Copies of this chain bind each other. A is one copy, B any other.
């Protein structure tokens, strides 16, 4: 059971600078039974140094998918968790690593999910975080919170494994969770409708769209709910 859940998790590394860190991350993942690795526009592709750092996890490295964008790496996922050093993001109030891992594993019962990590130096951009459904942080010491990339992957993979081992089979069958791309299409529709109605002023958008993403991001929308919301928007559109 836990092995199946862990196989639903992909680790996404965005714009990593050093191949050695990709290798070390692959090793960290594999020690916890997670083997699906996605690389978004790595500065350099995995090389001999990456393989040296991967140690016995070269298979994870060799199986990595290289993507041109985060959107591509998240395609098909029903839940995604941005891992960030900051406790409070522009977009989300991030939950701690343990709660985040539990939410991730709850979603992994229903489909593919992602743990998303940014660059070694500056982490994820706000734009990247907004593409994820929620955010999480490792509660490091505020005076020195500089975990290296592989260390952060190690902690999140560890928490995910423990959450998977804790997971009891749940008889309750929930409604189908919405896919990443359908939720993104809803956001795009919402933006168009709000522009048309005049509520969103393109000259002065303030933080309206990020705030709405933060709101709906907390819900874990179901497929049918996305359909209802889009139907609502269409009914408003007709009148504008």
Count this chain's copies in the assembly. 2
- A175, B226: Cα distance in complex, Å: 26
Interface majority SS on A: helix, strand, loop or mixed?
Answer: helix
CB of A56 within 8 A of CB of B146, answer yes
CB of B194 within 8 A of CB of A235, answer yes
Query: A30 — which chain B residues lie within 8 A by C-beta?
Result: 141, 144
- A138, B57: Cα distance in complex, Å: 18
Query: A27 — which chain B residues lie within 8 A by C-beta?
Result: 146, 148, 151
Find residues 14-60 in chain A having any chain B CB closer than 8 Å to their own CB: 24, 27-28, 30-33, 55-57
Interface of A toward B, CB cutoff 8 Å: 24, 27-28, 30-33, 55-57, 93, 98, 138-141, 143-148, 150-151, 154-155, 158, 161-162, 165, 174-175, 193-194, 197-199, 208, 211-212, 215-216, 218-221, 224-225, 228-229, 231-232, 234-236, 238-240
